[in-house]
Every structure is written in C-alpha cells, then in structure tokens.
C-alpha cells in the first residue's frame, strides 16, 4: 500500500518516464539498424530491450508500491519489488556483456568470471521465483508484510548490481588501450552516465532516476558507435586492415622470390662468365675472342637487369639505404670512364671529359650509388647515340663545407621529344618505342636514378632536342673532407685504354695456401681458373663438413666460403672453424662468396663473422684484389 497520491507518484517518476520514451525510440530504431549479426550488434540490441523493459517494469512496480489509491495484496507488492531488482540486475549484467563485446577477439574475460556472470543472470530469476513462492505460501517469510527482508534487499537490491558495475569498470579500464579514440570516449561517458544514474538514485531515493543515466548512455552509444554509417566505416577499416596485411605478406613473398631468383640466376651466370673469362684470357684466335666478348656483354647485361630489378624492389619496399663514407672523386671518375670507354669505342663514339681542376677531391657521401647513377646516364647516352660523342662534365660549387657536385652527361644521340620528358622517370616506361625497339632496356634505369638522387638530397634535370641530343644534369650535395683540388685528371682518363679489358696479372703468390669451399664444382673450377695466373695453391672442399676437416689439418692464408650449401651453410662452417680446439685456422681471414646480393646481405655476413664479402658472379679482378688484401705481405710478389 502506497504512501503517496497518484499525482505525487507520477511526479516522482517524471525522469524515468522521459527516459522510457527515449528507450522506446531506440527500440524502434534497433530493427532498422544494419544487421551484421556480430556479437556487438546482438549485445547492444539485447541491452536496449533490457533497459526498456527494465525501466517499464520499474515504473510500474514503483507506481504499484507507492500510489496510495492502489490497494493491493502485500505479496504482490513484494513481487513487484523483486521484479524491479531483477530488472536492475539484468540491465547492469547486460551492460557488462555489451562492454565485453568491444574487446571480442582481442581480449576475452577469464572463463571463471564469465561463468559466474552468466550464473548470476540465470540463478537470479529462479531464486526470486522461489522467494515469491515462499512468501506467498508463508514458508519462512511473513506473507502479511510487503517490505523485503534486509538480506533480500542487500543481495538482490544492491550486491549483484554493484558487482556487475564494478566488474564492468575494471574490465573496461584494463583494456581501454585496445579501443580507438571515438569508441573510448563514447564508452567512458556511457559508463559514467550509467554509474552516475545509480549513484543519484541512492542519493535521492524520492525520485526515480536510476534508468535515466543508462538511457542517456544508450543514446550516446547509438549515435556514437552503433550507427549504420559508423559500423560500415569500421567494417571497411577492418577489411582494409586485413587487405593491408595480405598485401604486406604478398610483398614479403615477392621480396623473397626476387632474392631467390637473383640467387638462382647469378649462380649459373657465375659459371658462364667465369669460363668465358678464361676463353678471353687464353684464346689466341681473334674470332673466338670476339665471340667470347659478345657472351661477356650479354652476361653482364643480364646481370645489370637483375640488379635493376633488385634495386627497384628495394626502393619500393623502402629498404634502400644511402651509406656514406669518405672517397676520392678522382677514383669515381676514373672508374666511370673505364667502365664506359670500351662501350663508346665499340660504337665509334668519342668520350669527352670536362673536369673542373679546382674542385676538392676528398668527399664524403655514397660513392657506390653516385657511381651507379652517373654510370646509368653514361650507358644510356652510349646506348641511344649512333654517331658523334658522349661527354661527361664534372664541376662543383663549394660552400660551408659542402660541395654541390654538378655532373652533366651529354650526347649527340636520338634525343627525347618534349612530350616524353615528363614520362622519363616513370618506372618501366620506355619512350620513343618506335626508334628504340632494337635497343635493350627495361625502363627502370632512370626511375632508379631519380629515386637514388632524391635519397641523396640531389636533383636531376634533362634538356634535349629531338634528333640532336640530350643532356642530363644532376646536382648532389657532398661533404668536403679536405680542400686539396682534384687537379688535371682529364688527359689521363680521357685516353682511357682500349686494352683495359686485356688481362694483366697483378701479382703472384706461389707460396700462398687458399681453401675454396663450394658445393657446385663448376664454381670451384671457375675460381681456380680465375686465380690460375697468380700461382696460389688452391685446395677445394665440396661441402662445409669437408672444409671443417681440411681446415683442422692445414693452415690456410685465406678461406673463400660459399654461403648456401646443403646440410650446413657457410656461416655454420665459419663458426665451427673459428671455435676448433687448437685449430689451425681460428683466425684465418674468411671471405663469404654468395649469389645473395640483396640489400643488407653484406652487413649481415660481416656481422656473422666473415672478414669480407664477394658477390657471384665473381669477377677475376675483384677476386685478385680481395685475395691480395688478405695474403701475408711476404708471400706476395708484385708485378709492377
Ligand atoms: P631503359 O632501360 O629503357 O634505357 P631508362 O629508364 O634508363 O630505361 O630510360 C627510359 C627511356 O628514356 C629510354 O627507354 C629511352 O627512350 C629514354 N632515354 C634515356 N636516356 C636517353 C638518352 N640519353 N637519349 C635518348 N633517350 C634516352
């Protein structure tokens, strides 16, 4: 029996009745929502309906319990109280389930806690039904009073609700870092409003407000993170994430494939070029030598295509790095002219050099990449010029310890049409295809050149008149190490040497002992041929195991070790040899020989303990340089 008039009871319920209207609107909106049948979708719908019915039941039971005009059996008032408690437990319980759904797949609650929560939700209505039966039948409970026993009030009126609220707060605060900003702010305010409503109810028992907070929270959730648009956006973002991951994986596979392909192609080219080098060195028949030179050219072209593809994939993957050190500009110019002189001679082209004699010679930058970009421009000029000349001009503008190195490569070749100039630096793009059909090329060279120059902080420009010739000018800032000028090197290098290709022994070392380890016997043969003139004594091992045994029996001056071998690779063999007890070769210099030329390979092998690194195909010249670098001075007889 109530203690308030009907109007007073209704006044008391104004807030909850308004909240009920909001709940009703949401209940209408829910079926219109995009159904994605996700956990979150289901738990939000359940929560909305639970809050609506919870609020409705609480309003009805409150009215029954408090309005004085309603005369009702105390047992039913008791039942109304139990129902409102149950509604509160369900609302807080489903609120926690909804919060859990934010972290589904990312963090699941502990199974024991999950079971306990579900058990409370299942056991509460059963327990209340039993309570009501006992009350109605007068078993242990007084059927004449409507007021609930204190333990019933504490347990069903407060304890379970508080438990669920506390659980939600702890679960939410422990995993908030998994949420995005928008979900975090919405969920935080949702929790604050729900808990706030319940606290307000405790502070002001005379007005019914505990559902107001929860209802506002639901509206916030609905417009914050549960609208169809937001869900679609989230779904799209998730799909994008999955697509990104699979693209990353595909890219990773591509890199591995390229690395493998490069390795597989380099290995046979090593044999082809190595054997061919022997033909060039030993043949007395000029016709045969000419054929062999053609083989060499094609082999080198093939290699440069592989190198371009590898470089390009490195740039694409963001793994290309500029590694700077000090170098001599004169050496760079010397190497460049040497590399291009023969090609120019073969086509009957003049190679002109214009070097500013006052430029500093000692610079600091990435010598290898600098050479690569200028060589690419020079080879293009030779490739796309039939008559006339190719010229290389190098000058510099020094300021504040920096030299703005300006390198121009000009030719009197086919030139480039104005409309093609913009496309020049695009990957895989070849311009003027009509004229260039017979000239080999991948359309990657200038794209790589452009990227490398940009990475070095420089720029490239092109001037060209179609049918007359082209000039590519690059400007790259390099640090100056000393002011010593480069001097007059033009005469020396422009002459070049047509005989640069003729093999000349640099040294001999008949007392030197070298071990070469490779599972491909053809590679060993090439290695032995390439060093034949140096007269060094060469032992061969066909596997890592054999190398370990041989190195335990004899002291070598240098060990050349292949990397990829079956059963045990080069690095493992190196470690075994290094840690041999009383080993004869624990500190012998070891050079890694590998067809693995991907970025970082050199650093990796040096880190693993090798003293140096040679890529296959092994060039005779480089091999001799490498050998003499590690041989004891007393064993080397120099030729010059
Ligand atoms: P490619 O492997 O085809 O030489 P590049 O990226 O080095 O690829 O060059 C792209 C295109 O630019 C070439 O196909 C050619 O048409 C044009 N090109 C480059 N250098 C010159 C040049 N010196 N003279 C005329 N055309 C050139």
Calculate mean pLDDT across residues 313-322: 78
Q: Is the CB of 477 under 6 A from ligand 1?
A: no
Token couple for 627: 């050998």
Whole-number pLDDT of residue 231 = 75
* Cα–ligand 1 centroid distance for 315 (angstroms): 20
How many CB atoms sit inside 10 A of residue 222's CB?
20
Q: Is the distance from the beta carbon of residue 367 to the nearest atom of ligand 1 less than 6 Å?
A: no
pLDDT of 361 higher than 50: yes
Name, in order, each residue with C-beta under 8 angstroms of 24's C-beta and a sequence gap of 6 or more. 52
Residue 422: pLDDT band (50, 70, 90) is confident
Helix or strand run (H / E) with residue 168:
helix 160-175
CB-count exposure of residue 466 (10 Å: 0-12, 13-18, 19+): middle
Residue 497: pLDDT above 50? no
Percentage of the chain exceeding pLDDT 70: 93
Q: Which is more confidently placed, 615 or 104? A: 615
Please tell me the predicted confidence (pLDDT) of residue 632. Answer: 93
Q: What is the 3-state secondary structure (H, E, C) of 395-420?
A: EEEEECCEEEEEEEEEECCCCCCHHH
Residue 495's pLDDT is 52
349 or 179: which leads in pLDDT? 349
**Residue 640 scores a pLDDT above 70:** no
CB atoms closer than 10 angstroms to residue 172 = 20
Average pLDDT over residues 541-550: 94
CB 179 within 8 A of CB 187: yes
- Whether pLDDT at 492 is above 70: no
Beta carbon of 443 within 6 Å of any ligand 1 atom: yes
What pLDDT was estimated at residue 260? 78
Ligand 1, atom 11: nearest CA belongs to which residue? 430
Residue closest to 507 by CA, chosen among 539, 536, 527: 536
Mean pLDDT for the stretch of residues 579-602 = 84
470 close to ligand 1 (CB < 6 Angstrom): yes
- Any residues with CB less than 8 A from the CB of 331 and at least 6 apart, and which? none
pLDDT of residue 2: 55
For residue 228, report the distance from its CA to the centre of ligand 1, in Å: 53
- Tell me if 441 CB under 6 Å of ligand 1: yes
Ligand 1 center to 430 CA (angstroms): 6
Q: Residue 382: pLDDT band by 50, 70, 90 thresholds? A: very high
- Interior/surface letters 344-360, b for 16+ CB within 10 angstroms, e for the rest: bbeeebebebebeeebb
| Least reliable range by pLDDT among 37-41, 288-292, 561-565 | 37-41
Q: How far is CA 1 from the centre of its chain?
A: 72
What span, in angstroms and rounded, lies between the C-alpha atoms of 223 and 239? 22
Mutate to test the pocket of ligand 1, among 373, 424, 451 (most ligand atoms within 8 A of CB): 424
Measured in Å, residue 329 CA sits from the centre of ligand 1 at: 26
Q: What is the mean pLDDT of the chain?
A: 86
DSSP 298-358: HHHHHHHHHHHHHHHHHHHTT------EEEEHHHHHHHHHHHHHHHHHHTT-EEEEEE-TT
Which tens digits make up the pLDDT trace of 444-482?
899 999 999 999 999 999 999 999 999 999 999 999 999
Q: pLDDT value at position 34?
A: 59
The pLDDT value given to residue 297: 78
Q: b/e for 246-273, b at 16 or more Cβ within 10 A?
A: eeeeeeeeebeebbeebbebbbbbbbbb
Instruction: Say how far residue 418 (Cα) sits from the centre of its chain.
Output: 38
Euclidean distance between CA atoms 569 and 491, whole angstroms: 49
Pairing of β 389-399 and β 402-411: antiparallel
Pick the residue whose CA is nearest to atom 4 on ligand 1: 441
The 3-state secondary structure of 204-222 reads: CCCCCCHHHHHHHHHHHHH
- Nearest CA among 585, 599, 593, 594 for reference residue 627: 593
Tens digit of each residue's pLDDT (9 = 90 or more) over 522-537: 889 889 988 998 999 9
* pLDDT tens by residue, 37-72: 666 778 888 899 999 998 898 888 888 777 766 677
Strands (E) located in 486-595: 507-508, 513-517, 537-541, 558-562, 590-594
With cut-offs at 50, 70 and 90, classify the pLDDT of residue 153. confident
Higher pLDDT, 542 or 619: 542
**pLDDT band at 373; cut points 50, 70, 90:** very high
Most confident of 94-108, 296-310, 411-425: 411-425
Count of CA atoms in the C-beta half-sphere (13 A) of 198: 21
Give residue-wise pLDDT tens across range 187-221: 888 888 888 887 888 788 778 887 888 888 888 88
Confidence of residue 281 (pLDDT cuts 50, 70, 90): confident
Q: How confident is the model at residue 296 (pLDDT cuts 50, 70, 90)?
A: confident
Q: What is the CA 303 to chain-centroid distance, rounded? A: 27
pLDDT at 499: 45
- For residue 434, is pLDDT > 80? no
Q: Which tokens hold the place of 469?
A: 């010739």
Position in ligand 1 atom list of the atom nearest CA 381: 23
Nearest CA to ligand 1 atom 20: 380
Instruction: Look up residue 215 and give its two tokens.
Output: 């209802």
pLDDT bin (cut points 50, 70, 90) of residue 619 is: confident
* Cα 102 to Cα 180: distance, rounded to the nearest angstrom: 10
In this model, does residue 589 exceed pLDDT 50?
A: yes
- Verify whether ligand 1 is closer than 6 Å to residue 416 (CB atom): yes
Q: Is 412 in the pocket of ligand 1 (CB under 6 A)?
A: no
How far apart are the CA of 233 and the centre of ligand 1, in A?
45
User: Distance of CA 490 to CAs 323, 355, 381, Å?
Assistant: 28, 6, 19
Three-state DSSP class for residue 245: helix
Query: 304: CA distance to ligand 1 center in Å?
Result: 15
What is the whole-number distance in angstroms between the Cα of residue 427 and the centre of ligand 1?
11
How far, in Å, CA of 301 to CA of 442, rounded? 11
CB 388 less than 6 A from any atom of ligand 1: no
DSSP type of residue 591:
E
Say which residue the tokens 């190098």 belong to.
394
Q: Are 397 and 449 in contact (CB under 8 A)?
A: no
> H or E segment at 484?
strand 469-485
Given a cut of 60, whether residue 166 has pLDDT beyond it is: yes
Reported confidence tier of residue 500, pLDDT bands at 50, 70, 90? very low
Q: Is 392 exposed, middle or buried (0-12, 13-18, 19+ CB in 10 A)?
A: buried
Contact 13, 59 (CB under 8 A): yes
Q: In 10 A of CB 85, how many CB atoms?
A: 23
Q: How far does residue 470's CA lie from ligand 1's centre (Å)?
A: 10
pLDDT for the residue numbered 558: 96
147 CA distance to ligand 1 centroid (A)?
95
Q: Whose CA is nearest to atom 18 of ligand 1?
A: 380
CA of 461 to the centre of ligand 1 (A): 14
Torsional class of 71: left (φ above 0), alpha (ψ -120 to 50), beta (otherwise)? beta
Kindly give the distance from the C-alpha atom of residue 201 to the centroid of ligand 1, in angstroms, as a whole number. 80
Q: Is the CB of 424 under 6 A from ligand 1?
A: yes
Ligand 1 site-directed mutation target among 383, 446, 451, 468, most atoms within 8 Å of CB: 446
Task: Please give the angle made by the CA atoms of 226, 232 and 234, to the nearest 5 degrees.
Answer: 80
Q: Whole-angstrom Cα distance, residue 620 to residue 530?
A: 5
């Amino acid at each position: 029996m109530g203690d308030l008039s009907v109007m007073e009871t209704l006044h008391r319920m104004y807030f909850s009745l308004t909240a009920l209207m909001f709940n009703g609107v949401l209940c209408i909106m829910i079926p219109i929502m995009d159904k994605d049948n996700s956990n979150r979708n289901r738990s939000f719908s359940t929560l909305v309906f639970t809050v609506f019915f919870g609020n409705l039941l609480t309003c009805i039971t409150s009215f029954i319990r408090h309005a004085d005009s309603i005369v009702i059996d105390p047992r039913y008032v008791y039942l109304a109280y139990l129902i409102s408690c149950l509604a509160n437990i369900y609302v807080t319980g489903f609120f926690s389930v909804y919060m859990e759904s934010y972290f589904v797949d990312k963090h699941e609650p502990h199974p024991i806690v999950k079971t306990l929560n579900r058990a409370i939700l299942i056991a509460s209505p059963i327990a209340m039904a039993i309570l009501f039966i006992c009350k109605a039948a007068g078993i242990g409970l007084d059927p004449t009073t409507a007021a609930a026993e204190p333990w019933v009030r504490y347990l069903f009126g407060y304890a379970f609700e508080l438990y669920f609220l506390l659980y939600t707060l702890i679960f939410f605060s422990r995993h908030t870092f998994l949420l995005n900003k928008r979900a975090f702010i919405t969920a935080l305010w949702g929790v604050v409003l729900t808990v706030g409503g319940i606290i307000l109810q405790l502070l002001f028992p005379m007005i019914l407000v505990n559902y107001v907070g929860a209802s506002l929270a639901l509206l916030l959730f609905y417009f914050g993170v549960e609208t169809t648009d937001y869900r679609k956006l989230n779904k799209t973002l998730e799909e994008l994430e999955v697509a990104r991951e699979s693209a990353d994986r595909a890219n990773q596979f591509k890199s591995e494939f390229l690395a493998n392909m490069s390795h597989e192609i380099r290995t046979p080219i090593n044999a082809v070029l190595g054997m061919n080098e022997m033909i060039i060195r030993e043949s007395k028949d000029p016709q045969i030598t000419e054929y062999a030179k053609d083989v060499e050219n094609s082999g080198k072209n093939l290699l440069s295509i592989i190198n371009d593809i590898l470089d390009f994939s490195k740039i694409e993957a963001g793994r290309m790095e500029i590694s700077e050190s000090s170098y001599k500009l004169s050496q760079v110019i010397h190497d460049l002219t040497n590399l291009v002189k023969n090609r120019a001679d073969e086509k009957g082209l003049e190679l002109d050099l214009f070097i500013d004699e006052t430029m500093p010679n000692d610079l600091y930058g990435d010598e290898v990449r600098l050479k690569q970009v200028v060589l690419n421009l020079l080879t293009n000029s030779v490739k796309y010029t039939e008559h006339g000349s190719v010229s290389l001009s190098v000058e510099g503008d020094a300021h504040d310890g920096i030299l703005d190195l300006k390198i121009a490569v000009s030719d009197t070749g086919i030139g480039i049409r104005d409309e093609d100039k913009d496309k020049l630096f695009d990957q895989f793009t070849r311009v003027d295809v009509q004229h260039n059909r017979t000239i080999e090329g991948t359309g990657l060279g200038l794209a790589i050149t452009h990227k490398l120059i940009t990475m070095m902080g420089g720029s490239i420009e092109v001037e060209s008149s179609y049918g007359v010739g082209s000039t590519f000018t690059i400007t790259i800032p390099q640090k100056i190490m000393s002011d010593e000028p480069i001097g007059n090197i033009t005469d020396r290098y422009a002459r070049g040497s047509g005989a640069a290709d003729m093999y000349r022994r640099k040294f001999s070392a008949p007392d030197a002992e070298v071990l070469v380890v490779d599972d491909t016997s053809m590679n060993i043969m090439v290695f032995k041929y390439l060093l034949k003139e140096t007269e060094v004594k060469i032992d061969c091992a066909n596997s890592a195991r054999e190398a370990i045994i041989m190195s335990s029996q004899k002291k070598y001056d240098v060990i050349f070790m292949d990397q990829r071998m079956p059963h045990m690779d080069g690095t493992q063999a190196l470690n075994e040899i290094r840690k041999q007890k009383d080993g004869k070769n624990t500190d012998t210099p070891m050079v890694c020989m590998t067809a693995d030329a991907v970025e970082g390979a050199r650093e990796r092998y040096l880190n693993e303990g090798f003293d140096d690194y040679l890529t296959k195909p092994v060039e005779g010249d480089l091999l001799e340089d490498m050998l003499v670098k590690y041989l004891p001075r007393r064993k080397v007889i120099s030729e010059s």
